[in-house]
């Protein structure tokens, strides 16, 4: 349950595994949770529904769903007609930044998270960035996070008045298995999370990078994966 009258945090919650565990860590840290979710034209819009379910299950103080049409910009398989890569092994995933990278996504999301934090007097924005299991997305690196904090300090009323915003990415250096174990320890409803980039109806495809990383993570963690996959 959120802590009454405690420090407030904005948590960027996609509906996926990492953001759900990040939210639970923020709650463990004593933060009053304010979820921020984005409908940005993603092909896996089912994750927005799951974010709403997570917000209800975790009894958050408030949940804002913000609509942004990133399909108008394109440049990604998640917001356009490019095919989502399937069946890549770990070395192939690490070879280059994949077409599932959405240009400017975390920059945009964190900017809106900072704006929301300023309006409610939150001290922190939490988001589930991770640099180990993903394919080198440039907006998941610690260098980006620190640079963003500097920009917020210089470009917001709160910042120039000395109320610096912290961007917290507690999963940054954890493996997927470690994230899953953390989720189990914090009683995260993992069955409500959705990770697939290219779902088949209500089912996760089981073949995209995100599905494969998730499946490998559950297997390595020794935890039963509650996900229903089209490919088993």
The answer to whether residue 3 scores a pLDDT higher than 70 is no
Segment 110-135 mean pLDDT: 91
Establish how many alpha carbons lie within 13 A of residue 26's alpha carbon, considering only the half-sphere containing its beta carbon.
34
pLDDT at 1 over 60: no
Checking if the pLDDT of 174 tops 50, the result is yes
Give, as one character, the DSSP assignment of residue 83: P
pLDDT at 93 over 60: no
Determine the average pLDDT of the residues in 68-97: 84
> Over 50: is that where the pLDDT of 9 sits?
yes
Domains of the chain: 8-176 (3.40.50.620)
Residue 208 in tokens: 């995209």
128 in Cβ contact with 207 (< 8 Å):
no
Q: What is the pLDDT of residue 89?
A: 74
Q: Which three-class secondary structure string do you get for 89-157?
A: CHHHHCCCCCCCCCCCHHHHHHHHHHHHHHHHCCCEEECCCCCCCCCCCHHHCHHHHHHHHHHHHHHCH
- Given a contact cutoff of 8 angstroms between Cβ atoms, the answer to whether 61 and 32 are in contact is yes
What is the CB neighbour count within 10 angstroms for residue 82? 13
Whether pLDDT at 2 is above 50: no
What is the DSSP secondary structure assignment for residue 41, as one 8-state letter? S
**pLDDT tens-digit series, residues 36-64:** 999 999 999 999 999 999 999 999 999 99
* Residue 134 pLDDT level (bands cut at 50, 70, 90): low
What number of residues does the chain have? 232
Instruction: Answer yes or no: are the C-beta atoms of 60 and 35 closer than 8 Å.
Output: yes
pLDDT for 225: 96
CA distance 225 to 227: 6
Check whether 158 has a pLDDT greater than 90.
yes
CB-count exposure of residue 50 (10 Å: 0-12, 13-18, 19+): buried
Locate 32 and state its tokens.
């009053």
Q: Are 190 and 215 in contact (CB under 8 A)?
A: no
User: Mean pLDDT in the chain?
Assistant: 92
**Tokens of residue 162, six digits:** 């000395």
Q: Write out pLDDT tens, residues 183-219.
A: 999 999 999 999 999 999 999 999 999 999 999 999 9
Torsions phi, psi for 188 (to 5 deg): -75, 135
């Amino acid at each position: 349950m959120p802590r009454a009258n405690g420090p407030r945090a904005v948590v960027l919650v996609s509906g996926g595994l990492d953001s759900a565990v990040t939210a639970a860590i923020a709650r463990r840290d004593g933060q009053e949770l304010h979820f921020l979710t984005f409908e940005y034209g993603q092909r896996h819009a089912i994750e927005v529904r799951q974010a709403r379910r997570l917000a209800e299950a975790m009894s958050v103080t408030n949940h804002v769903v913000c609509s942004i049409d990133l399909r108008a910009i394109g440049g990604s398989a998640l917001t356009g007609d490019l095919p989502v890569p399937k069946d890549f092994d770990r070395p192939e995933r690490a070879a280059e930044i994949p077409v599932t990278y959405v240009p400017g996504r975390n920059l945009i999301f964190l900017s809106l998270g900072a704006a929301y934090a300023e309006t409610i007097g939150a001290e922190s924005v939490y988001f589930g960035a991770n640099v180990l299991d993903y394919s080198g997305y440039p907006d998941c690196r610690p260098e980006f996070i620190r640079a963003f904090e500097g920009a917020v300090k210089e470009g917001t009323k709160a910042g120039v008045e000395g109320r610096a915003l912290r961007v917290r990415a507690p999963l940054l250096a954890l493996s997927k298995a470690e994230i899953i174990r953390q989720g189990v320890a914090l009683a995260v409803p993992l069955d409500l999370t959705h990770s697939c980039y290219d779902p088949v109806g209500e089912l996760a495809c089981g073949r995209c990078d995100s599905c494969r990383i998730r499946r490998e993570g559950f297997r390595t963690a020794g935890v039963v994966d509650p996900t229903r996959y089209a490919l088993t």
